[in-house]
Chain A
Amino acid sequence: GAVVSQHPSWVICKSGTSVKIECRSLDFQATTMFWYRQFPKQSLMLMATSNEGSKATYEQGVEKDKFLINHASLTLSTLTVTSAHPEDSSFYICSASTEYMDTEAFFGQGTRLTVV
C-alpha cells in the first residue's frame, strides 16, 4: 500500500507555544488530506479536511484559528497547534487520499502531543 509519513512521532511543548506536525504522502499525490484527533481508548475524531491549494474545511466545534492547516503541495500537509494548552494534549493522525472516491485511505503513524 501507499506510504504516509507523519513527523514528529511525539513532541512535548510548553503551554503557550506552537507546534507543527507534518504529513507527507511518499509515493502518491494526495489531493485530499485529513487530520484526526484521538483521545485514549476512543475512536478517531475528524478535525478537518484539506484539499491541495485551498482552505481546509473544519468539522463543527474545531477552532480553525487554533488548529491551522496548510496543504501547499500534493505531498505535504501541515497541522499547527497554536498557543497550545494541556487540554490539546492528544494523539493526532493524518490520512491521505487521491481524488478517487473508491480508493483506500492511508494513514500516518500518528503524533503524540504532550503540552506541559
Chain B
Amino acid sequence: KQEVTQIPAALSVPEGENLVLNCSFTDSAIYNLQWFRQDPGKGLTSLLLIQSSQREQTSGRLNASLDKSSGRSTLYIAASQPGDSATYLCAVRIQGAQKLVFGQGTRLTINP
C-alpha cells in the first residue's frame, strides 16, 4: 500500500528566505507526482506535475525534484513571500490506478 509522508508538518520562516518542503513515498511504482497548494477553506491549486521519467520541474520561484528510486520529492521555494503562506500537499498517482495518494501536507507561514 502506497504511503506518502510530508516533513515538516508545519514551517514558519521570515520573508525572503529560500525553503525546501519534503515528500516521501513508499512505492516507487508511480505515474507521476503532483504538488498542490491549499489556502484555508479553499480547494487545491496545482503547482507542479512531475512525470515518473522526469527529474524536476520549474515554475517561477518554484522548483520540484523527483528521485523515484529513493521515493523522494522536494519542493523548493525561492525568495519566499507572505503570499506563499498556505498548506502544501504532495500526491502520487500510482501505477494501475488513476487515483492520487496524498501526504498530510506542510502548513507554511511566511512572516513579513
Contact = CB atoms under 8 A, between A and B. Distances in A.
B88 to A, nearest CB: 11
Interface of A: 1, 6, 32, 34, 41-44, 46, 49, 91, 93, 95, 97, 101-102, 104-110, 112
Contacts of A44: 44, 89, 102
A110 to B, nearest CB: 4
A33 B93 CA distance: 14
A105 B104 contact: no
Given A91-B41, A109-B42, A102 B99 contact: no
Interface centre among A42, A49, A104 (most CB of B within 10 A): A104
A contacts with B: majority SS: strand
A104 B34 CA distance: 8
A102 B43 contact: no
Contacts of B18: none
Interface of B: 31-32, 34, 36, 41-46, 49, 51, 89, 91, 93, 95, 98-100, 102-105, 107
A10 to B, nearest CB: 9
B52 to A, nearest CB: 8
A108 B43 contact: yes
Contacts of A93: 43-44
Given A44-B89, A49-B98, A105 B42 contact: no
Nearest to B100: A105
